[in-house]
Structure 1
């Protein structure tokens, strides 16, 4: 059975190739192979680490009430998290160390962003957290009960949609450096902006389904134990994207009040 493609850059088609093991786990001992329960546990560890540093940045921002108070921490989190993610993707065997570092760094960024949004729209961050985890558990249930099945067409559709969104964001960022407004309506709080955010949230959420499927196939492939950390890292990449998109959507809806 071939591995299913996924649009998550951390869980690409060749993630479980050339890392040892094989279907049926004939090449490495059973105790040294990746398991679903182990991946779930390690995802929990990464979530705790992310919450810990996010809480630190959050309370630091609230104490001073100024973005300048946490700007340095957010920059370290954003830039450091990106570098750490790239290292993890290209050096999967480092995931037991690099994935926790990634979680800690991303927490610095998310805490600051969340506090800023929450100061402007009280209660927004906790709503976004609740919706993110609600979506996670709902999709996990739908996937585990096979109500949602990952077919090749389904996967290719999500990959294509995700790629289109990323290209749009990249174009906006590059043109922004030259003070060029590009499709500004999608960033606004009007109907077009809200519909666009709803679509992006849906695509981000469906990426979780692809991640679940891909990790399950990796377990069947007999990947080594350290790939549990890598699988957990991949889930975190999608969860962070989903949270930020939900936060953005809620902010758009609140700004219309």
Structure 2
């Protein structure tokens, strides 16, 4: 099978190809296989896990109005989520356990961040959720109907753009320690909003690559546990897209 590429680090180029040397690869054996329906169901389970813990930190913050009340939980979620993500990427067969753990931990972070934004800009959280899921369903429909076709040029463009954004965010974080801030890009002006729209667009297009990658994994005959891994990959992209939606909406609110 030709090498499949995606900019999602959880669904890297060799995710399914690396299984070819195992007892699951190359359509060999009688083990249960990965299916699209199974991956969709498990994506739903991960979303429910994230919503449950997000709701908990949300209400904890709303009761006190003090970010310090949820800061420890958010830190646990951030560090724990990163650890679970790395374990899942390198130990795919553990994904039935690590993927739900990642979703639960990530929910702690998302709930706290959403509550902070909501307190400052009432209604922003539900708007971001609606836009995120709306984007997911629109792109899924466009992909399944053939309106968007994943070509090598499209993959290369999205991968390059995503890599550029990642490098920029890393550079911004490092320079921030030295007092250097990109106020124009982070501001609510035309350039700042334009940048956020660009990032939201790139994040959304990553979903298309994820759909295509998972579909090819199903065709390849990946083992059943890869449904959890595929769902985990979709979850990673959705978390990024939601956070970028919050950022964009906050800029738009600052202009009003």
- CA offsets, 1:50-69, max 9 Å, x none? 00000000000000110000
1:63 aligns with 2:63: yes
Q: Which residue of 2 aligns with 1:91?
A: 91
The match for 2:160 is 160
Question: 1:18: how far off?
Answer: 2.8
Distance (Å, rounded) in 2 between the aligned partners of 1:219 and 1:3: 15
Unaligned residue ranges in structure 2 (runs of 5+): none
Q: Which residue of 2 aligns with 1:224?
A: 223
Task: Say whether the 8 Å CA contact 1:4–1:155 is kept in structure 2.
Answer: no
Aligned partners of 1:74, 1:2: CA distance in 2, in Å?
Answer: 40
Q: Supply the distance in 2 between the matched residues of 1:203 and 1:224 (Cα, whole angstroms).
A: 30
SS of residue paired to 1:43 = helix
**How far is the alpha carbon of 1:28 from its aligned partner?**
2.7
User: In the TM superposition, what are the counterparts of 1:25-174 in structure 2 within 5 Å?
Assistant: 25=27, 27-29=28-30, 32-174=32-174
**Count of matched residue positions in the alignment of Structure 1 and Structure 2:** 253
Superposed CA offset, 1:108-166 (max 9, x none): 00000000000000000000000000000000000001110000000000000000000
Instruction: Indicate the SS of the match to 2:134.
Output: helix
Is contact 2:10–2:89 with CA below 8 Å preserved after alignment?
Answer: yes
Q: CA deviation at 1:177?
A: 1.6
Q: What's the counterpart of residue 17 of structure 1? A: 17
Structure 1 length-normalised TM = 0.96
2 CA distance for matches of 1:71 and 1:96? 28
The aligned residue for residue 212 of structure 1 is 211
- Is 1:252 aligned to 2:251, yes or no? yes
Does the 8 Å contact 2:4/2:14 carry over to 1?
A: no
- Could you tell me which runs of 5 or more consecutive residues in structure 1 were left unpaired when the two chains were aligned: none
Partner of 2:8: 8
1:199 corresponding residue in structure 2: 198
d(CA) in 2 for partners of 1:76, 1:146: 41
State the Cα distance separating 1:227 from its structure 2 match: 0.4
What's the offset of the Cα at 1:254? 0.4
Which stretch shows the higher mean deviation, 2-11 or 142-151? 2-11
How big is the shift at 1:22? 3.9
Q: Report what 1:236 is aligned to.
A: 235
Once residues 3 and 212 of structure 2 are traced to their aligned partners in structure 1, the CA distance between those partners, rounded to angstroms, is 9
Question: In 2, Cα distance between the equivalents of 1:98 and 1:4?
Answer: 24
String of CA shifts for 1:57-115, please: whole Å, max 9, x gaps: 00000001100000000000111111110111011111000000000000000000000
